[in-house]
Amino acid sequence: MGAAPSRRGSNWRLLVGGLLFLVAVVIAIYGFLSLVRVLNRGGYGTPPMIHALVILGIAGACFAGGIATIIWDIAMRYGPESR
């Protein structure tokens, strides 16, 4: 019987996770500024407010994807199976 293959981290996973995180920061800043502008104009419950909230939701999804990808790679690099 052969030995189990070694599980290793991937630089591509770290790059994708880091890029998703950076994109999320930019999108979140843009969404926050959009939301502030809409609320300053008194646009509660209007389509522009919904648009700003959708942008913030996309930023949250990018944050979650980036952090999950980075954690996945760290687990592959330093988890108990990698020893």
- The pLDDT tens digits for 66-81 are 999 999 999 988 887 6
Report the predicted TM-score, pTM, of the whole model to 2 decimal places.
0.81
> Residue 24 contacts by C-beta under 8 Å, 6 or more apart in sequence?
59, 60, 62, 63, 66
pLDDT tens for 9-35 read: 789 999 999 999 999 999 999 999 999
pLDDT score at 79: 81
| Strands (DSSP E) found in 7-63 | none
pLDDT tens for 32-67 read: 999 999 999 988 888 999 999 999 999 999 999 999
Predicted confidence band at 83 (pLDDT cuts at 50, 70, 90)? low
CA pair distance 21, 19, nearest whole angstrom? 5
Cα distances (angstroms) measured from residue 7 to each of 34, 64, 82, 83:
44, 24, 5, 9
How many CA atoms lie within 13 Å of 45's alpha carbon, on the beta-carbon side? 0
